[in-house]
Amino acid sequence: MNRPAPLVVVGDSLLDRDLSGRAERLAPDAPVPVVGDVEHRTRPGGAALAACLAAADGRETTFVTALGDDEASHTVRELLKDRVHLVELPLRGSLSRKTRLMADGRPLLRVDEGDGRAAGPADRAEQALAGAGAVLVADYGRGTADVLRAALTARAARIPVVWDPHPAGGPPVPGTRLATPAAAEARRFAGEPAPGPARRHDHRDLLRQASADARTLLDTWGAASVAVTLGERGALLSRGGPPLLVPAPWRASGDCCGAGDSFAAAAAGRLADGDLVETAVREAVEAAARFVAGGGAHTVLRDAGTVPDGGDGAPGDARALVRRVRASGGTVVAAGGCFDLLHAGHVQLLQAARRAGDCLVVCVNSDASVRRRKGGGRPVVPAGDRVRVLEALDCVDAVVVFDEDTPERVLDELRPDIWAKGGDYALTDLPETALVESWGGQVVLLPYLDGRSSTRLAERAAGRPGAATRR
């Protein structure tokens, strides 16, 4: 397989922090929810998130951004270390920080702090752009794209430039290969009023408006193509003729914060590799769906610079499911594994596990975890796709992705009544046994369908001799 082409990402870094917990009552002194059991998680945001996502699959990524001497800037530097090649511009003021207060996986409020802006260009930044084969501009309106606009305009005449705009930022430079506004952003850039809360749009209205806005922006911006992202509905690509609708491959549920960055990074990567815009947009829609289904930014970046300063929890929907089952006196069952190539042995195990209780939560190794356990050629199927397949099984009620080699952390949070393993572990000392028993849970072995193995399936698909499956 050819190595992915290198990419230069230009844009404004943010520092994102989530305070996540449970809201089960109102405060006595005001009608506001009380959030308890709070976990603190910090990650790179804005263009820094886009750069990390571009680099997550092994793509050589240079990131041009403005950073200062404030605490948030130092944290972002640490988060980016060893992930991207960092080229800094000077920053005037303190780096922007976004803090979300989350309850049961849903945001309650957001606090924005910091007003720092890029203070000017730097020779190293312009040199990085001069040698770039493709560029992604993630413009969050803090000035990085503005101070490099002349250099970006020159490169857009020669190489693919993908521009992810923000209402606070400027327009893409002329000659941009692909602009990627969200539907609301496209409407604002096109000069259309944003819909009020009482104004509802069905799917046809959304497509009609997005198509009209894209045509307007093609003329206004001088871009070669505009892809209006439509959230869970996919994206609409316009190049001047009839638009191309690229539906999402499935409806992903979860935290969508950062999905636009995932879309733009994937599209820029494919254009850097020489793909057509239509191919890049299709791949970008799938990447954004995988991003959301796989747990969002914290899960994807846990192996790429996330700081778990209070511990990482399982997704909110799994926690909520466990609480509901427990509140009704039910039994929570959990099972785990890589589930790289789902086969009959997996299905039999999961069906048996579900029959052992009142709900089944499947704990799945992340891509990084599978690579550490199985080697560089694995997983064959990325985490987002594995989650999608598992969630389609009637016997599975929720799926949680974990990044460690073993699932103790997520088990400690979920605290299932039963931890189910296949009978092939009968002679194995499971490291999680003592943990499960510490809260009164039980580890059980379930019948295992002999001769089925993801590794054997992968070997057979690769045509390796002697890799026939035993019957």
DSSP label at 357? S
Closest residue by Cα to residue 205 from 218, 188, 187: 187
Closest residue by Cα to residue 210 from 250, 79, 218, 315: 218
Tokens of 254: 């979860």
H helix or E strand, kind and range, residue 175 = none
Are 129 and 8 in contact by the 8 Å Cβ rule? The answer is: yes
- Other C-beta atoms closer than 10 Å to the C-beta of 18 total 23
**Per-residue b or e along 232-261, where b marks 16 or more CB atoms closer than 10 Å to that residue's CB:** ebbbbbbbeeebbebebbbebebbbbbbbb
Q: Which position among 16, 139, 261, 417 bears the catalytic label?
A: 261
219 assigned to active site: no
Q: Report the C-alpha gap between 217 and 205 in whole angstroms.
A: 18
Dihedral of alpha carbons 33, 39, 42, 47, sign: negative
* DSSP H helical ranges for 56-166: 71-80, 123-130, 144-147, 149-156
Max alpha carbon distance in the chain (Å)? 72
Closest residue by Cα to residue 417 from 447, 439, 432, 446: 439
The vertex-21 CA angle with 19 and 23, nearest 5°, equals 125
Query: Quick one: CA torsion of 27, 28, 29, 34, rounded to 10 degrees?
Result: -10
Secondary structure class of 224 (helix, strand, coil): coil
Q: What is the secondary structure of 363-386 as a DSSP string?
A: EEE-HHHHHHHH-TT--SS-HHHH
Tokens of 348: 């039999």
Tokens of 184: 């609301």
Tokens of 385: 């796709």
Interhelix angle 47-55/259-272, nearest 10 degrees: 50
- Other C-beta atoms closer than 10 Å to the C-beta of 67 total 21
Are 57 and 290 in contact by the 8 Å Cβ rule? The answer is: no
Active site residues: 261
